[in-house]
Amino acid sequence: MGSRAERGRRVRTDGVELCVVEAGDPARPTVVLVHGYPDTKEVWDEVAARLVDRHDLHVVRYDVRGHGGSTAPGTPAGGYTLEKLTGDFLAVADAVSPDAPVHLVGHDWGSVQGWEFVTVDRTRGRIASFTSVSGPSLDHFGHWAAGRRARPTPRAAAQLLGQTARFWYVAALHAPGVAERAWRSGLGRRWPGFLARAHRVPPGAHPAPSTPSDGARGAWLYRDNVRPRVRAPRADAYAHVPVQLVVPSDDAFVSPAVFDGLERWVPELTRRTLDARHWVPRTHPDRLATWVADFVAAHHAGETAAAVAGAAGAAGAAGATRATGRRGRRADRYAERFAGLLVLVTGAGKGIGRATALAFARAGARVVVVDRDAVAARRTVREARAAGAAGAWSEAVDVGDGDAMAELAARVHAEHGVVDVLVNNAGVGLAGPFLDTTPEEWRQALDVNLWGVVHGCRLFGAGMAERGQGGHIVNIASAAAFLPSRTMPVYGATKAAVLALSESLRAELAGRGIGVSAICPGIVRTDIAATTRFAGADAAEQERRRTSANRLYRLRGYPPERVARAVLGAVARDRPVVAVSPEARAVRALARYAPKVLRRAARFGSPR
């Protein structure tokens, strides 16, 4: 393995000198990272470190002409055309990887350049794959805009108007001298604060000290290219390499709608959606590095995906391969959002937990299956791997044991990284009158149903918060949380506590980009009724009541897979509370609008 220390070099091309740095073993696949406007190569610091240290790749970054440590063309006008930028990229690629194609990753204007690189003939054979982040092809955008003007449906008109509004700054950058004066008279000093406030970019090496001059010179990227290409887009702008598209859902500059119909131009497209703002390399380096490494593993010519995966793991490479199929789409609707994420599910040996783990597995996530039944956990792992998980591991843990959960959190973090999605599902049933319930029965129910959730949220939520790249916590409550019941007072109390905790935690963690959802199923076809304890009943009565309750659950026939789909939907849409099944929605509605009806109904029927 080569040195992980960064090595600098100067690459001369077309009258400019490009500042290039590389790290990692040159014998490994080479990834070239291209920055946007008004950034420098330092915007990639966090991503580059992860690609080298965690995924053992050869990583190269360079300052685009006129930015950072690179020199500027003598005459700005005409010095920043896409044709010249393509020549710069080829000069860098030839210097750092003369004998093998490179894997290209671009953000913002680096992505705009990247689309040019992968659609022109002069780069054929020099690029193995392209990951695009927050930057469309000017040619594709020109065709997209023209198509909406030609067929002005209300939806098309709204999309075009919305994207035009997002491009307000493009017009400003075309005004002679405006960008130069703005960047050098104070915008450069204020830029770090703007990124922190508006785009949640953490402080650090980015932006570079050269930002004022970078912003002033970089305006020519727009002046030399935008109007000519958008007005007269190329008709042959077809990508000749596989493309991975990373789309931030809350991008202030590029609407996700701009990429609709991209399959026309890209024969092999993998689309990822990320709950993030524009500066993904700085706000979500873990996720981006994982996706890039998996995509490299799946598309590196001359080596098998498993061999290239290396530190990223062969399973991750397989997951990336499955993410690209015909038209670059998975059958699973959530693949573009969850592929490669680390998901931990408690109580995943059977029932809702098992169905949820498998649903995330089918979306290409890496899944940690936790259950106190080790055999059941291993069975779910086998099924998850067969379903398409990018990795699956089992852990036999009692979620009510705080020490064991702390050890689990430390082990998962050390072996797999920070959990992206936590699903606190483990639960036990307890029925019977309150006055017949013993303190020990209370303790057992609280340990699993409430303390298990508390331990999970505290231990794994802390990791999400410390990482600072967001995440999501899902707590499985129950429709019983809305429902007063003389037959399930203890169970209902624990689930109501889970619901209240989820709502409070959602408010606390919102500022850290961490979502919290409470899922409240009704009667679901699982084994919980068959294992429920009935307070105050002898052994024979216990068995009779379990058989009767289990029969009801089976007759209801509501599958756990539908709850699992609700879990994935809640994470994808950041929903606070989801009542699953018709009876759960009805009970929730009554609790909100007609609580007296539920209170009166709770008085009838014997708890015996």
Q: How confident is the model at residue 147 (pLDDT cuts 50, 70, 90)?
A: very high
Distance from C-alpha of 426 to C-alpha of 370, rounded to nearest angstrom: 9
Instruction: Determine the pLDDT at residue 499.
Output: 97
Instruction: Determine the pLDDT at residue 280.
Output: 96
pLDDT exceeds cutoff 60 at 374: yes
Instruction: Determine the pLDDT at residue 332.
Output: 56
Sign, CA torsion 531/535/538/543: negative
Lowest mean pLDDT among 92-106, 188-202, 314-328, 489-503: 314-328
pLDDT tens profile 303-361? 433 344 343 443 343 333 334 443 334 445 688 889 889 999 999 999 999 999 999 99
pLDDT tens profile 211-223? 999 999 999 999 9
Instruction: Determine the pLDDT at residue 24.
Output: 96
Lowest mean pLDDT among 12-26, 92-106, 397-411, 546-560: 546-560
Higher pLDDT: 2 or 183? It is 183
Distance from C-alpha of 519 to C-alpha of 277, rounded to nearest angstrom: 27
Mean pLDDT of 17-28: 96
SS3 of 140, please? helix
Percent of the chain at pLDDT > 70 equals: 89
List of domains in the chain: 7-328 (3.40.50.1820), 338-524+559-602 (3.40.50.720)
Task: Report residue 83 as tokens.
Answer: 């044709």
Q: How confident is the model at residue 200 (pLDDT cuts 50, 70, 90)?
A: confident
Distance from C-alpha of 281 to C-alpha of 562, rounded to nearest angstrom: 35
Mean pLDDT of 512-534: 82
Mean pLDDT of 289-299: 93
- The per-residue b/e assignment along 284-306, b for 16 or more CB within 10 angstroms, e otherwise, is bbbbbbbbbbbbbbbbbeeeebe
Higher pLDDT: 431 or 171? It is 171
Question: What letter would DSSP give residue 260?
Answer: T
Contact (CB, 8 A) for 461 and 422: yes
DSSP per position, 179-197: HHHHIIIIIHHHHHHHHHH
- In terms of average pLDDT, the best of 148-157, 326-335, 452-461 is 452-461
Instruction: Determine the pLDDT at residue 539.
Output: 77
Torsion of CA 582, 588, 589, 594, to 10 degrees: 130
* CA-closest candidate to residue 282, choices 208, 190, 341: 208
Task: Report residue 348 as tokens.
Answer: 């995943």
Backbone torsions φ then ψ of 28, nearest 5 degrees: -85, 165
Q: How confident is the model at residue 544 (pLDDT cuts 50, 70, 90)?
A: confident
Contacts of 363 (CB under 8 A, 6+ apart): 330, 332, 334, 335, 337, 338, 339, 388, 568
Sign, CA torsion 268/274/276/279: negative
User: Average model confidence (pLDDT) for the chain?
Assistant: 89
Instruction: Determine the pLDDT at residue 550.
Output: 63
DSSP per position, 294-356: HHHHHH-TTS-HHHHHGGG-HHHHHHHHHH--GGG--SSTTHHHHTT-EEEEETTTSHHHHHH
Instruction: Determine the pLDDT at residue 92.
Output: 98
* CA-closest candidate to residue 499, choices 511, 484, 523, 482: 482
Beta bridge partners of 520: 579
pLDDT exceeds cutoff 70 at 195: yes
pLDDT tens profile 390-438? 899 999 999 999 999 999 999 999 999 999 999 999 998 787 888 888 9
Lowest mean pLDDT among 230-234, 329-333, 513-517: 329-333
Indicate the burial class of 573 (C-beta count within 10 angstroms; 0-12, 13-18, 19 or more).
Answer: exposed
- Cα separations in angstroms, 350 against 39, 176, 380, 386: 49, 65, 8, 16
Task: Report residue 290 as tokens.
Answer: 């994982």
Lowest mean pLDDT among 77-91, 534-548, 554-568, 570-584: 534-548
- Cα separations in angstroms, 130 against 3, 105, 241: 25, 6, 7
Instruction: Determine the pLDDT at residue 603.
Output: 80
Sheet of 243-248: strand order equals 7-13, 16-23, 58-62, 30-34, 102-107, 127-133, 243-248, 269-274
Lowest mean pLDDT among 100-109, 192-201, 290-299: 192-201
Q: How confident is the model at residue 205 (pLDDT cuts 50, 70, 90)?
A: low
Contact (CB, 8 A) for 338 and 311: no
Catalytic residues: 491
Task: Report residue 604 as tokens.
Answer: 């009838």
pLDDT exceeds cutoff 50 at 190: yes
Distance from C-alpha of 205 to C-alpha of 581, rounded to nearest angstrom: 50
Percent of the chain at pLDDT > 90 equals: 73
pLDDT exceeds cutoff 90 at 477: yes
- In terms of average pLDDT, the best of 290-299, 520-529, 536-545 is 290-299
pLDDT tens profile 236-287? 999 999 999 999 999 999 999 999 999 999 989 999 999 899 999 999 999 9
pTM of model > 0.85: no
Contact (CB, 8 A) for 130 and 33: no
Backbone torsions φ then ψ of 458, nearest 5 degrees: -70, -50
Helices (H), 437-488: 439-445, 452-467
